[in-house]
Amino acid sequence: MTIERFQQSADKEKYVHSVFAAIAHRYDVLNTTLSFNQDKYWRRFAVGQAALPAGGKALDVCCGTAMLSLELARRAENATITGLDFCEEMLTIGRKNIAGSEHGEKIQLVQGNAMALPFADNTFDCATIGFALRNVPDIKQTIAEMRRVVKPGGRVVSLELAKPSAPVFKQLYYLYFEQVLPLLGKLGVGIEGPYRWLPESLKCFPHQSAICEYFTEVGLKQARYHELTGGIVAVHVGVK
């Protein structure tokens, strides 16, 4: 099976689940280390774009270890955050992170599928997804589901790896991402496969401009994106 076909197959969902189950115990430490501590800045920026009001309700899709959920909870007073993920191992770490936070009482974690969200239409003031659009079998369906559960006027926000275009920086980035990062990841978790998936998953992931078009195609208005840290990540925003 080619990687293009794999990207949209049921096998992808099973494989991604196995990847995150294997690295859950080291996921947060490695994210911070391998991003040179930039992951915290990226999450803060994404949450700022979500514009969650005080007392509002947010959905964090593919919440993983709940780090983006926690950032949402820090930003909005008296907000209610629901984090959803399909991997129980990641949710287990997320519950530990929440239990150790003063904002944990604002967050509820549930197990579920990003492409069939178990919530009614027009439920949340915003919906976020962090570093997960690359991992779903159907990107557009996931964005459409996020739009469905957001109230009119609410925002859908994605934080994701992107494809930088600046000469020299682009070459250095891909050298690190494709050659160095998998080796560091192997050292961090003790197995090779999971951090080989990262560069593979980015190869067939659409450019940030194409993701912006997906936002528009599912009916989101004012679709736009912000490139951060030289374009190695992008934050997409759309309004219902």
Widest CA span in the chain: 48
- Each domain of the chain, given as residue ranges in start order, spans 3-239
pLDDT at 43: 97
Give the pLDDT confidence of 17-26 residue by residue, as tens digits: 887 777 767 6
Checking if the pLDDT of 157 tops 80, the result is yes
pLDDT at 194: 57
Just give the CATH number of 3-239.
3.40.50.150
Q: What's the mean pLDDT when you consider all of the chain?
A: 87
User: If DSSP codes are grouped into helix, strand and coil, which group holds residue 84?
Assistant: strand
In tens, the pLDDT along 169-227 reads: 777 777 776 776 556 555 554 555 556 666 677 778 999 999 999 999 999 999 999 99
Distance CA 42, CA 158 (A): 11
User: Are the C-beta atoms of residues 136 and 160 closer than 8 Å to each other?
Assistant: no
Q: Put the strands of the sheet holding 57-61 in their side by side order.
A: 107-111, 80-85, 57-61, 124-130, 150-161, 233-239, 221-228
pLDDT, greater one: 79 or 186: 79
Number of Cα atoms under 13 Å in the Cβ half of residue 225: 24
Cβ 121 vs Cβ 148: under 8 Å = yes
Interval 132-149 mean pLDDT: 96
Stretch 123-139: mean pLDDT: 96
Q: Which of 140, 92, 96, 75 lies closest to 114, judged by CA?
A: 140
- Mean pLDDT throughout 43-70? 97
Helix (H, G, I), strand (E, B) or coil at 130: strand
